[in-house]
Amino acid sequence: MRRTKIPGVDAWPMLDMFLKKFGLRQSFLAKKCGVRPQILTDIKSGRRYFSKKMADALLAASQGEPWEFWVRHMLDNAFNPPKYEGLEEFFEDMDEDAPEATKVPMNSLPILTTPCLGDPFESNAYYGERISVAEAIAELALSTEPAYVLRLHSDDVFKRLRSGDLLLVSQTADAEKEIMVVDHMGMLKLARSLTHSRIFYGFSDYKERKEGWLALDSGILLLEAEPVSCVIGIVWADL
């Protein structure tokens, strides 16, 4: 049976890039995949075919790991065409022949684990995961490029949002928005203004301060924080 080899020379550095990006030892990944380290060396150098069996092993070894979505993205590109069986499409192209009235505006956005400034695809918080958005969210994203989707990893202190929710972030600092990304001592964090927290959530601490920012996940006052971007929509939320 003829094995499938990743097309193109650019596919080989991807495995080495993956190991460096996540600080993984080749021997560690080989053990998780149940293969000898030399097999990965041969795959990187082009001496060995990247078989579907190896792809299955790599995908299984990545289940639940921080790099799972990066691996899915890498395999999706590697086996295209044909599509690798079992991998989800990150987005579907619109049917060009469909009547204009039936077309839905689509946009594929990167999902990040922490806020960023600049190109979200170049961020260290981007692991290759993307999501397709349509209609209102797609129009919002297109109007404020480069937008991205941020996945929360902790609950909102006011219980408005939960861990796992997906937020649409614009890289403009619109002070009218409820949730902002602020630069606090060189770190980007989600926060609400004290004014908004008092009006809408009855927050009563720090009464001596007229202005300030509260960390979204802890309610801690962030001193000397500057707004740099804002949340403009909710892509998905756990009800």
Residue from 79, 135, 84 nearest 106 by CA? 135
**Residues 100, 78 contacting (CB under 8 angstroms):** no
**Residues 6, 55 contacting (CB under 8 angstroms):** no
What are the C-alpha distances in Å from 205 to residues 29, 73, 182, 221?
A: 49, 45, 20, 9
Helices (H), 170-222: 194-201
Write out pLDDT tens, residues 104-123: 344 678 889 999 998 888 88
Write out pLDDT tens, residues 153-168: 899 998 889 988 999 9
Q: Flag whether the pTM goes above 0.75.
A: no
> Rounded CA gap, 91 and 109, in Å?
9
- List CB contacts of 88: < 8 A, sequence separation 6 or more: 72
The CATH T-level fold of domain 9-78 is 434 Repressor (Amino-terminal Domain) (1.10.260)
Write out pLDDT tens, residues 166-197: 999 998 888 888 899 999 999 999 999 888 88
The CATH T-level fold of domain 106-236 is Umud Fragment, subunit A (2.10.109)
Domain ranges of the chain: 9-78, 106-236
